[in-house]
Amino acid sequence: MEIEVKNFEELNTKELYELLQLRSEVFVVEQDCVYQDIDGKDERALHILGWEDGKLVAYTRCFQAGDYFDEAAIGRILVHENYRKLGYGHEITKASIKAIKTKYKADKIKISAQTYLVIFYESHGFKTTGDRYLEDGIPHIAMVRA
């Protein structure tokens, strides 16, 4: 998988279309969750794009401290359904952590993790904080990597 890191202004129309389409496919259709994905935060985000043979197959968006949470943050972490179990989730997560350290000079990173993925995020150094909560009807828990 080839990974690119771009701010909003660097995204071309095709890339923006593909990332919004993939986010909708995973978070709205696959997870059967009606929510407002286009939330006005993409313009402030750093977009981490994972490509395989010209197709967007993995994605995250990253924020500097204060733009989403008090800490730097990673969100909208996903891998296309047909490309799971290939290690791409680990690759895109590592690339996101690296991008935050490089671009924002931050070591403390917060995520809002779907609870079934806690062990996955723990493997990347994240630790749960606080209680579980529902976000858009899906169980989540805050996790921080320091």
What distance in Å separates the CA atoms of residue 74 and residue 88, rounded to the nearest whole number?
A: 16
Domain count of the fold of the chain:
1
CATH number, position 72:
3.40.630.30
Q: Dihedrals φ, ψ of 131, to 5°?
A: -95, 160
What domain range is 13 assigned to? 2-106
Question: Does residue 35 belong to any structural domain of this protein?
Answer: yes
Question: Does residue 74 belong to any structural domain of this protein?
Answer: yes
What distance in Å separates the CA atoms of residue 14 and residue 46, rounded to the nearest whole number?
A: 17
Question: Does residue 69 belong to any structural domain of this protein?
Answer: yes
Q: pLDDT tens, 15-58? A: 999 999 999 999 999 998 888 899 999 999 999 999 999 999 99
pLDDT greater than 90 at residue 3: yes
Q: pLDDT tens, 94-146? A: 999 999 999 999 999 999 999 999 999 999 999 999 999 999 889 999 999 99
